[in-house]
Amino acid sequence: MLNAEFRIGEIREMTAGVLNDMIISQKIALQALEACDEKSFEQALIPLKSIDERVEEIDSLILSAFVRFSPEAKDLRELVAFLKITSALQRIATNEKNYMKNMKICNPKSDDGIKLIIKESLAINRCTIQAMTFTIEMIQEVNDKDRLKDLDSKIDVEFSKTDDIYSMIEKNVLQNMHGDHEVDDEQINILKYIRKNLKIIDRLQDIASKLIFARIGGKL
């Protein structure tokens, strides 16, 4: 029998599927950056091509559930949360696309300084992939509140790691430029691209907070 709970189950599954494709995209991009192969970035974009359409489909399911089932209490919180989560997913997809476009600067002809910065920054990408994995687990965990809180904390830890990694990279780059008495615009741009990449895991934190609201309550 079709009811609000069944529809919410579909929404969870589809949302997790979108995030899983984002993980695939991230992993392909990571491999491309490790090899400094700018041609492989096109492959990383493939899993993202249908994200907007899939998010719109999720939104349609959410809105139809509001109209058809008039949900209350927990079901209502869940639907409201996922309506906001889909917006975050679209922004993450945009962040990923822009990041890959900008990081095409990484190619076999790049100088060693650029390659070193990018190599050091890949720890951020690995943390992002891990945080996405935790987010999928949060979507799928509907009963164990302690586990939800634990996964939320793990996402926070991954974010903290990325912030520390970026700060270390930025410090090293600026110190090197200070020692050379010269501003390297290309390295400054790389720092900017890496910094923007941090927005992805920041948005995952936002999704996690929405899931905590949906399952446990509190402020949205």
Q: What is the pLDDT of residues 24-65, one digit of tens each?
A: 999 999 999 998 887 788 899 999 999 999 999 999 999 999
The ranges assigned to domains in the chain are: 4-215
Report the distance separating Cα 27 and Cα 7, nearest Å. 31
Which pLDDT score is estimated for 1?
A: 54
Averaged pLDDT score across all residues of the chain: 92
Burial-class residue 64 by CB neighbours within 10 Å (0-12, 13-18, 19+). Answer: exposed
Which pLDDT score is estimated for 50?
A: 92
Residue for token digits 């990694």?
165
pTM > 0.85: yes or no: yes
Asked whether the beta carbons of 121 and 187 are under 8 A apart, the reply is no
Which pLDDT score is estimated for 193?
A: 92
Q: Specify the range with the lowest mean pLDDT, choosing from 104-118, 150-164, 204-218.
A: 104-118
Asked whether the beta carbons of 201 and 162 are under 8 A apart, the reply is yes
Report the distance separating Cα 111 and Cα 61, nearest Å. 49
In this predicted model, which residue has the larger pLDDT, 180 or 211? 211
Q: Show the tokens assigned to 142.
A: 């509907």
In this predicted model, which residue has the larger pLDDT, 158 or 220? 158
Q: Show the tokens assigned to 49.
A: 């091509």
Q: In this model, does residue 2 exceed pLDDT 90?
A: no
Confidence of residue 105 (pLDDT cuts 50, 70, 90): confident
Residue 128, helix vs strand vs coil? helix
DSSP string, 47-90: GGTTHHHHHHHHHHHHHHHHHHH---HHHHHHHHHHHHHHHHHH
Which pLDDT score is estimated for 73?
A: 86
pLDDT tens sequence across 145-200 = 999 999 999 999 999 999 999 999 999 999 988 888 788 888 999 999 999 999 99
Q: Show the tokens assigned to 75.
A: 């079901």
Q: Which helix (H) or strand (E) holds 181?
A: none
What one-character DSSP code corresponds to residue 214? H
Confidence of residue 219 (pLDDT cuts 50, 70, 90): low
Q: Does domain 4-215 have CATH number 3.10.620.30?
A: no
Share of the chain above pLDDT 70, in %: 99
Return the closest-CA partner of residue 11 out of 91, 81, 95, 96: 81
